[in-house]
Chains A and B, each alone.
Chain A
Amino acid sequence: MKILLLAEHDNCHLNSATARTVSAASKLGGEVHVLIAGYRAKAAAEQAVKLSGVDLVLLAESVSLEHMLAEPTAALIVELSSQYDILMAPATANGKNIMPRVAALLDVMQISDVIEIVSPDTFKRPIYAGSAIQTLRSPERIKVLTVRTSAFDPADTDGSAGIQVIDFVPTATVSMHIESQINNSDRPELGAARIIIAGGRALGSKERFDEVILHFADKLSAAVGASRAAVDAGYAPNDWQIGQTGKVVAPDLYVACGISGAIQHLAGMKDSKVIVAINTDEDAPIFQIADYGLVANLFEAIPVIESALNLD
C-alpha cells in the first residue's frame, strides 16, 4: 500500500500538523510519501525528511503552488494519484480546501476529519459537533482522507528519507493570490501548544482580552484561543476561534476563562487532557466537562493564579 500525504507548510517551515498526520499515516501501514507543494520550499522538504515513518519526500516547486491555492495543488495531487492507494492531508484550512476537490476529480468520496484509524479502510470521525462518532468503511479504489491532527501525536524526528524533485507544469489559472495577512506572533500555534488559555464573552472588550488573557498566556508560554462570541465581538482574531467550525485542539491543559461552553465550543476542545474552567456562573455548561472548575470572577482569579505561580 502506498500513501501520499500533502504537507502543511509555508515554504520555509513545516507545520506541526504534518508530523501529526504522518503518525496517522504510519498507523495505516505502508509506504508514506510526503508531498511538499510550494515555491522555494526546499527548507520545508528538508524538515519533512526527518519525520519518522516517512519513506520519501516529493518536492514540487512552482510559482503557482506558492500559496497552495486549491486549483493547481489539486491538479498536482490528481496527476500523482495513480500510484497511490490513499491520499491524505491534515484537516487544516489548506487540507479542507484542497482534498475534496481532489476527491471529486477522482470521483471518490472523501472521509473528513478522521480521528481514529480502525483499519486501512475503516475510520472514525465525529459528526454533529462531536455529539456522535461515526465508524465508516470506504470501499473506494483510492481513499481520500483529512485527518484531525489533535487526535494524533506528532511523529518523531529521527527519520532520514530522501527528496525527489518532481516537475509540475501548471495549466491556465482561474485563481490568483492577492495578499495574505498572517498574524505573526511568538506565541505557540494552537495546534502545537501544550497549554491553551482561551477567553470568552466575559472579557468584555478587546483591551481586557489582551490585558488579561494574553498576559496570562504569555506568562505560561501558552497559545491563545477564543470562543465564537469573543471573536464575533472583535476581542480576538478569527483564527483563534476554537470549536466545531473553527480550530479543534487537544492540549495538555486548556483553561477556559469566561466561556460558558456552548456545544459548538466544546466540540473544539473537549479532548484536551486537563480542562480548567473559570466562570462566575456556576451552572455554565463548561463545568460539566471541566476537570477543575472555579466559580469566580476571572479578573480576580487570574492575577491570583499568576502570582501563585510566581509569574509576575
Chain B
Amino acid sequence: MKVLVAVKQVIDSNVKIRVRQDKSGIDLANAKKSINPFDEIAVEEAVRLKEVGKIDEIVLVSIGPSQAQEAIRVGLAMGADRGILIQAEYPIEPLSVAKLLKAVIADELPQMVILGKQAIDDDCNQTGQMLAGLLDWGQATFAQSINLIEDVVEVTREVDGGLQTIRLNLPAIITTDLRLNEPRYVSLPGLMKAKKKRIDIKAVNGFGIDITPRLQIIETNEPPLRKSGIKVASAMELVEKLRNEAFVL
C-alpha cells in the first residue's frame, strides 16, 4: 500500500512574528523555516506504519518555493521514500493546494493520504477536508490514533468533549492531531543519507489548475495590546483585587 503525506514549510514555531509596518503582511525575510509540526507528525505516523509492514511506500508532496525542498528532506530523513515538490510562490490557498494534491493522487494512486490538521502559519485547518471533498473520499480529521486493518482504517479523533472513533473505507484522508505520536529526531547523518532520495520537481503551470487566490487580503495588523497588568504581593491581595477592582469574584 502506498501512502501520500503532504508537508508544508512554515516559519519555525519559535520565531517571533513581525507584522510589516505598512500592514501588507508578515515580515518573512530571513525567518527560520521548519516543517509544519502537524505534518511532521503525519510523516512519523506513515513511517511507523511502514516499519510494522502495513504500508510499502511513502511519498511526500509539498507545494511551495524551491526552499520547501528542505521540509521534504526532513521527511525523507525520517524514513519517507521519495518526494515531489510542486514549485509555486506563496500565497497558495488551501483550496488550490487540495486541487494540486488531487492531481498528484490521480497519478500516484495512494490508498491513504495523511496531512497535518493545520499549518501553524495561516491556521486555516482546511486542506485535508477539502481534498476529501474533491475526491469524494472519507475523512478522519484530528487523529489521535490510526489503526489500519486491510481495506478499512479506524481512526480515533480528538473532538470537543473527548474522543470519537470512526471507520473509513480506503482510500481515505486523515489529518493529524498533536497526540498521534512524537516525531523522531532527525540526525545530521540521517539528513545526509536522505540526500540520495529522489525529489521530483514539477512546475505548477503544468497542472492546468488556476491557483490565483480567491480571497483578497486587505490588511494585516498587530493584535490589540492588552494594557499591562500589575504584580500582587500575596494571595490575599490577589483576592482583594479580584473582588474590589476587577469585580470578577
A binding-site residues for B, Cβ under 8 Å? 8, 15, 67, 69-71, 74, 92-94, 96-105, 107-113, 122, 126-140, 174-183, 195, 220, 228, 231-232, 237-239, 241, 244-245, 247, 252-253, 263-264, 270, 273-276, 282, 287-296, 300-302, 304-305, 308-309
A sample of 17 cross-chain residue pairs with beta-carbon separation below 8 angstroms, ordered by A number, consists of A71-B139, A101-B133, A103-B130, A103-B133, A127-B220, A129-B123, A132-B221, A137-B215, A175-B138, A177-B164, A177-B165, A178-B154, A238-B177, A245-B178, A274-B242, A274-B246, A292-B242
A133 to B168 CA separation, bound complex (whole angstroms) = 37
Shortest distance in angstroms between A129's beta carbon and chain B's nearest beta carbon? 7
Do residues A177 and B166 form an inter-chain contact, with CB atoms below 8 A? yes
CA of A137 to CA of B131 in the docked complex: distance in angstroms?
23
Q: Please give, as numbers and ranges, the residues of chain B lying within 8 Å of A109 by CB-CB distance.
A: 93-95, 213-215
The segment from B103-111, B185-193, B195-203, B223-231 found at the interface with A is B223-231
When the two chains form their complex, are residues A289 and B220 in contact, meaning their CB atoms are under 8 A apart?
no
A132 near B229 with CB under 8 A, answer: no
Which residues of B lie under 8 Å from residue A287 when comparing CB positions?
229, 231
> What are the nearest 6 A-B pairs in CB distance?
A104-B130, A100-B129, A104-B133, A174-B138, A304-B235, A100-B126
How many residue pairs, one in A and one in B, have C-beta atoms under 8 Å apart? 261
Out of A98, A112, A175, which one reaches B124, CB within 8 Å?
A112
User: How far apart are the CA atoms of A138 and B167 in the complex, in Å?
Assistant: 35
Contact of B52 with A by CB under 8 A: no
What are the residues of chain A within 8 A of B177 when measuring CB–CB? 238, 245
Residues of chain B with a CB closer than 8 A to A276's CB? 238, 242
Distance in Å from the Cβ of A310 to the closest Cβ of chain B?
10
> Given A294-B232, A304-B236, A308-B235: A238 and B168 within 8 A (CB)?
no
Q: Which residues of B contact A99 (CB under 8 A)?
A: 129
Point out the residue from B123, B126, B167, B232 that lies within 8 Å of A293, measured CB to CB: B232
Q: Does B29 contact A (CB under 8 A)?
A: no
Is B69 interfacial (CB 8 A cutoff)? no
Partner of A273, one of B138, B239, B248: B248
Contacting residue for A239 out of B161, B167, B231, CB 8 A: B161
A289 to B224, CA, bound (A): 12
CB distance from B15 to the nearest CB of A (A): 9
Centre residue among A8, A67, A111, A276 by max chain B CB count within 10 A: A276
Q: Is the CB of B215 within 8 A of A138?
A: yes
Q: A112-B124, A253-B248, A264-B13 are in contact. Are A139 and B216 (CB under 8 A)?
A: yes
Known: A183-B161, A275-B229. A128 touches B17 (CB 8 A): yes
- Cβ of B222 within 8 Å of any chain A Cβ, yes or no, is yes
CB distance from A56 to the nearest CB of B (A): 26
Residues of A near B179 (CB, < 8 A) are 231-232, 238
* Cα A71 to Cα B138 with chains together (Å): 7
Bound: A70/B130 CA distance, A:
11
Residue of B nearest to A241 (CB): B178
Q: Are A138 and B214 in contact (CB under 8 A)?
A: yes
Which of chain B's residues have a CB closer than 8 A to the CB of A112? 123-126
Question: How far does the alpha carbon of A288 sit from the alpha carbon of B177 in the complex, in Å?
Answer: 29
- Tally B residues with Cβ within 8 Å of A: 81
Give a binary string over B118-144; 1 marks a CB under 8 Å from any A CB, 0 the rest.
101111111111111110111111101
Question: Given that A132-B19, A238-B144, A309-B249 are contacting pairs, would A137 and B216 also be in contact in the complex, using a CB cutoff of 8 Å?
Answer: yes
Question: Within 8 Å CB of A98, what residues of B?
Answer: 129
Q: Closest Cβ of chain A: how far from B221's Cβ, in Å? A: 5
Residues of B in contact with A (beta carbons under 8 Å apart):
11, 13, 16-17, 19, 26, 38, 93-95, 98, 117-118, 120-134, 136-142, 144, 154, 157-169, 172, 177-179, 213-223, 226, 228-232, 234-236, 238-239, 241-242, 246, 248-249
Residue among B98, B118, B125, B220 with the highest chain A CB neighbour number at 10 A: B125
Contacts of A245 on B, CB cut-off 8 Å? 38, 117-118, 120, 177-178
Cβ-defined contact, B226 with A69, below 8 A:
no
A107 contact set on B, CB distance < 8 A: 95
Q: How far is the CA of A195 from the CA of B249 in the complex (A)?
A: 9
Give the residue name and chain of the B residue nearest to A270 (CB).
Answer: B226
Do A108 and B166 touch (CB < 8 A)?
Answer: no
Residue of A nearest to B168 (CB): A175
| CA gap between A10 and B176 in the complex, in Å | 24
Structural contact, B166 and A69, CB atoms closer than 8 A: yes
Asked if B236 and A104 sit within 8 Å, CB to CB, the answer is no
CA distance A304 to B51 in the complex (A): 53
Q: How far is the CB of B218 from chain A (nearest CB, A)?
A: 4
A residues within 8 A CB of B214?
108-109, 138-140
Other contacts beyond A247-B160, A292-B230, A305-B238: 9, CB < 8 A: A101-B132, A105-B134, A127-B26, A174-B137, A264-B13, A287-B231, A291-B229, A292-B232, A294-B235
Task: Decide if A97 touches B139 in the complex (CB within 8 Å).
Answer: yes
* List of A residues within 8 angstroms of B221 by Cβ: 132-133, 135
Q: How far is the CB of B225 from chain A (nearest CB, A)?
A: 9
Inter-subunit contact A294/B238 (CB<8 Å): yes
Q: Knowing A112-B124, A136-B216, A175-B167 touch, does A101 contact B138 (C-beta < 8 A)? A: no
